[in-house]
Every structure is written in C-alpha cells, then in structure tokens.
Amino acid sequence: MTQAPTERERERENGFRITGVTPGTTELVLTAGDITRHIPVTVLEPLNLFPTIPPFTRNGVTVTNNENGTIVIDGTATAGSSWYGDIELEAGRYKAEGCFISWSLFIRFRNPAGTYILSGNGTFTLTEKTTITVHLLINQGQPENPPVTLTPKLTRIGDAAADETIDGPDII
C-alpha cells in the first residue's frame, strides 16, 4: 500500500508552498525596505498520488507500466480482467484525470465500505484519513482498438475541513 505524504509533510520538506503558478521556472521577488532579492524557483506539477500498476497479462490483455505515468493496455480481453491496489490518503478533496477510455475500460475508486466513490474522471472528498482501493476494469472485448494508453493522475486539490483550494502546482 502506498501512503501519500500530507500537505504539512510536503511543506516541511520544501520549506513553503505557493500554488496557482504555471509549471516551469520563475523567481520570487522579496523586498524589505529598500533591499530587494530575486530568488529563482522551479514550479513542479502537482504530486501524482496514483499508485503504480505492476505489469500483468490476464485473459488476453497485457498491461504495461511505462514508469512515466502511462499505462499501455494491449490485446483484447477474452474475459473481464481487473487490477486492484490500495492507497492511503489524508482527509481532503481529490481529482482523478486520465482514468477513462469508455464504460468498458476505466479506473474507479472504492472506499473501505466497498462503495465506489468515483468511476473514471472527477473529484471526491475524504473527511478522514482513508485507504482507498483503486480498480482498473477491462471488460471482455476491450480495448476495441489496441493498444490504448491511459495516463492516470490523482491529485489533492483541497482540504476537506477548510475547503482550501490548492489547485495549482507546487513550488520548491
């Protein structure tokens, strides 16, 4: 099981966090009285919390993890094929992207009670630290035109209690 770092842990590691800035390089301009300093910074994409799907072959389908965030699904399923993995997430609002090809090939998220809280792309909120099950579902006859590539992303976009929005990338 993968445990995502909390926002406080990331702030302690990086020293501070600024959000809403376009990824790339920029600078902070700090001024105190008549003294001004320019500090170069690198703006990163938001941390992708999506768990790593290990490569597997099942029921005529081969799933490959390219370690760059993409998953390639090749072959056509002769029967339904699935992968399940757990990830522990802090309380907060989360956004899933790149998790949907069709209603016959998608990723969904399930809470500990067994209820699917999101299928495909969208957002969900956790009010407490929770272990979520991630489910890659490939129905029989899918994908229709192999190979297909998924680039699943799961990012924290806010705080459940304070409704704080942290949509932007992080700065280190």
In whole angstroms, what separates CA 171 from the centre of its chain?
18
What pTM value is reported for the model?
0.71
Of 55, 156, 56, which is closest to residue 166 (Cα–Cα)? 156
Structure tokens of 35? 């003294």
Contact call for residues 19 and 168 (beta carbons, < 8 A) = yes
Give, for all 172 residues of the chain, the pLDDT tens digit.
555 666 556 555 656 666 656 778 888 888 999 999 998 888 777 789 999 999 999 999 999 999 888 999 999 999 999 999 999 999 999 999 999 988 888 999 999 999 999 999 999 999 999 999 999 999 999 999 999 999 999 999 888 754 444 443 333 3
143-to-66, 83, 168 alpha-carbon distances in Å = 18, 15, 33
Beta bridge mates, 119? 108
